[in-house]
A and B are shown apart, each in its own frame.
Chain A
Amino acid sequence: MKLKLNKPRREALIGYLLVLPWIVGFLLFMAYPLYFSLFMSFHKVAITPYGIDTTFRGWDNYKDAFLTDPDFIQKLLLFVKSTVVMIPIVIVFSLFVALLINQPIRGRQFFRAIFFLPVVITSGEVVQELFAQGAATIPLMDQSGVIAYLENNLSATWSAPLIDVINRFILILWYSGVQILIFLAALQKVNTQVYEAAAIDGASPWVIFWKITLPEVKPFILVNLIYTTVDLFTNTFSDVIKLIQDNMFQVGTGFGYSSALAWIFFAVILLVLLLAVWLFRNREKTAYAGSGR
C-alpha cells in the first residue's frame, strides 16, 4: 500500500483496518442482539410458528420485575451481596498465590500449572457437572468433622458465616486462575535488580512488598478487579442468570420479561464495577498524594 498519507492519518487507517474484523463481528453478534433484547424488554414477546409476535408493554416488564416477581429482587440482592464479598477475597488471594509461586522454590513450574488449572474447570459444562455431583464443597471437611465441630461448638451466628466461607473457599480458589496469571506476569515485570538494591539498603521483605511490589502491580489490580467482577457475575451458577433463563420459556413471562431482567442485572453489574473502579482510583490518589505525585 503506497498511499501518500501523512503519518498520523496512515496510522489511524491501519488502526481502523486492524479493528475492522472485530467491529463487524461486534456489530453483528453483540450490538444488534443487545439492541434487540432492549427492544424486547419493552414488549411482550410470543414465538409463533410464523415468526415473533411483539406487543408493546412500555415499562411494565421492569415494573413487574420489581413489584410483582416474588423471586427476582430477593435473589438479585442475595447474589450481589455474596459476590461483592468474594471479589476482594479473590483479588487478595490471587495476589498472595502469585507472590508465592514467584518465589525461587523447587517445583515452581508445577505449582504454576496447578494454580492456573481451575481455568479449565470453571467454564462450561464441566463445572456444572462438578456442582451437580457435589465436588464444589470440600468433602474432606465434612468427613473429617470440621463442619460438625464448628456447628457444635459455636453459636449459629458465628458458625454459619464460617461454614459459608469454608464452603465457598473452593469456589474462590477456582475463580482465581486467570487472576493469578495476570498478577504473575506483572510480578515478573519487576526488575530483580530493584529488589536486590532494596535488600542491600536494608529493606525488609514486608517493606519491599508495600513499597516496590505493590506499586508495580497496581495497574494489574485494576485489570483483575474488572475481570473478577465480570467473571463472578456472569458465571453459570448465578441464581439470577438461571432465573432469567427460566423465564425465557415460560408462557406467562417469556422473552420480553427475561430481557428486562437481563438488563436490570446488567445495570447492577455495571454499577458494582463502576463503584469498584471509583473506589480503587480514589484510594490510589490518596496513596500518591503523600509522595507528591
Chain B
Amino acid sequence: MASFHGNKINPSRFGIGQVKFFVFLIPLGIVMILPIVFMFSQALKPLDELFLFPPTFLVRQPTIENLVSLLSLKDMSVIPVTKYLFNSVVVSVSVVALALLTSAMTGYALSKKKFKLRKTLFEINTIALMFVPAAVTIPRYLIVEKLGLINTYWGHVLPLLALPVGVFLVKQFVDQIPNELIEAAAIDGARDTAVFLRIVMPLIKPAMATVAILAFQTVWNNAETSSLYMSKETLKTFAFYMTTLSTTIGNNVAGQGVAAAAALVMFVPNLIIFIFMQSKVMDTMAHSGLK
C-alpha cells in the first residue's frame, strides 16, 4: 500500500529537476504527432495546395471542400455509405470482443495451466506470428468457402480471430502474475472462473487494452475479407468502400483531395478507440498487483 500512497505518481508541480527529461520528451513527442497533424492538414488542403511544389507540411487555407465532396459521392453508388459503416461496426465489435476473449483464455491457460502441449502450442503460436499473411490468401479462401462463410458476417469475423500477437502478449503478462497469488485464491475457495475473472483479468488489463487496440486496427482497416469473401455489395465494409474510392477516383487530379479526406475518415475511429483504450492501459499499470 505504501508504495502508491507514498510516492505521488503524477506530480502536479513543475520543478527544475524535470527540465532534463523535457529536453528529450518534447522534441520526440512532436515527431510522434507529426503524421497525425499531416493527415488532418492534408485532408483540409484545397486542390491547388495539394499539388504545390515544394509541398507544404501544414495547410495554409483550410477548407472542408474535400470532406464535402467525399460525402456527396454516395450518390454514385446504390448503397448508402451508412450501410458500409454499419457492417464495419458490427464486424469490428465482434472481432474485438471475441479476439479478447480467446486471447485471454489461451494466454492464461498457456501460462498458468500445466498440460503437456502448452510449451509446444506457445512456440507454434510464436512461429505463426512470423508468416507473411499474404501467402495464405488462397488456402484461406478455400477454407472460408468450405465452411460456408461466403457472404455471411462470420466470413468477416472468423478469419481475423486468429491473432497470434494477442496470445503472445497476454501470455507474457500472465507470466508475471505470481503463482502464489492464484494458489492463495484457490485456497480461499475461488474456482477457475473466479480466478480468471477476478484475479487474472484485472491484472492483465494493460495487455488486454493493447490487444483490443491491435485487433481493432486489423479489423477496421481490413478490406481483404470484403473483396475476397463477400460478393454481395450489402455485406462489404467501410474499409473496402474506401479502397474502391481511392482506386476509382484517386487516380485523377480532383480525386487526390477526396482520397486524403477518405484517409482521414478511415483514421479517425482508430484514433478514438486509441484515446479511449490507452487511458485504461496506462491507468491500470501503475496500480496493478504486479509489483
Contacts and interface: CB of A to CB of B under 8 A. Distances in A.
Interface of A: 8, 11-12, 14-16, 18-19, 21-23, 25-26, 28-30, 32-37, 40, 45, 52, 97, 100-101, 103-106, 108-109, 111-121, 123-126, 129-130, 133-136, 138-140, 143, 169-170, 173-174, 178, 181-182, 184-185, 188-193, 219-220, 223, 226-227, 230, 233-234, 241, 244-245, 248, 255, 258-259, 262-263, 265-266, 269-270, 273
B229 interface: no
Most chain B Cβ neighbours within 10 Å, of A32, A138, A169: A32
A184 B165 CA distance: 18
Contacts of B126: 226
A25 B109 contact: no
B50 to A, nearest CB: 9
Nearest to A220: B172
Given A22-B167, A111-B29, A185-B206, A15 B113 contact: yes
B138 A135 contact: no
Most chain B Cβ neighbours within 10 Å, of A52, A103, A119: A119
Given A33-B140, A133-B42, A192-B3, A21 B13 contact: no
A117 B105 CA distance: 27
A74 to B, nearest CB: 18
Nearest to B33: A114
Contacts of B173: 185
B113 A18 contact: yes
Given A104-B18, A130-B35, A170-B35, 5 more contacts: A52-B138, A101-B25, A185-B290, A226-B126, A226-B168
In the A-B complex, the 7 residue pairs with the smallest Cβ-Cβ separation, listed nearest first, are: A124-B221, A15-B113, A262-B135, A33-B139, A36-B139, A33-B136, A18-B109
Interface majority SS (helix, strand, loop, mixed), chain A: helix
B78 interface: no
B97 to A, nearest CB: 13
Contact of A109 (B33, B108, B221, B282): B282
Interface stretch (B69-77, B83-91, B211-219): B211-219
B285 A105 contact: no
Interface string B215-253: 001101111000000000000000100110000000000
Interface majority SS (helix, strand, loop, mixed), chain B: helix
Contact of A133 (B38, B125, B239, B278): B38
Given A29-B159, A108-B10, A181 B32 contact: no
B179 interface: no
Contacts of A223: 172
A126 B162 contact: no
Contacts of A97: 28
B285 A113 contact: no
A258 B260 CA distance: 32
Given A30-B128, A185-B206, A100 B242 contact: no
B114 A117 contact: no
Contacts of A259: 135
A38 B108 CA distance: 31
A138 to B, nearest CB: 7
Most chain A Cβ neighbours within 10 Å, of B32, B134, B147: B32
Contacts of A104: 7-11, 18
Most chain B Cβ neighbours within 10 Å, of A23, A36, A134, A169: A36
7 contacts: A11-B113, A19-B106, A22-B105, A114-B33, A192-B3, A193-B2, A241-B132
Given A108-B10, A248-B137, A139 B57 contact: yes
A21 B102 contact: yes
Contacts of B220: 124
Contacts of B286: 188
A135 to B, nearest CB: 4
A279 to B, nearest CB: 17
A22 B273 CA distance: 25
A191 B32 contact: no
A82 to B, nearest CB: 18
Contact of B281 (A116, A130, A230): A116
A112 B209 CA distance: 14
B108 A18 contact: yes
Contacts of A109: 10, 279, 282
Contact of A244 (B130, B132, B162): B132
B82 interface: no
Contacts of B223: 125
Contacts of A139: 55, 57
B129 interface: yes
Contact of A119 (B106, B213, B263, B282): B213
Contact of A227 (B133, B134, B168): B168
Interface string B159-191: 101101101110011011000000000000000
A105 B22 contact: yes
B118 A32 contact: no
Contacts of A184: 285
A113 B115 CA distance: 39
B291 A125 contact: no
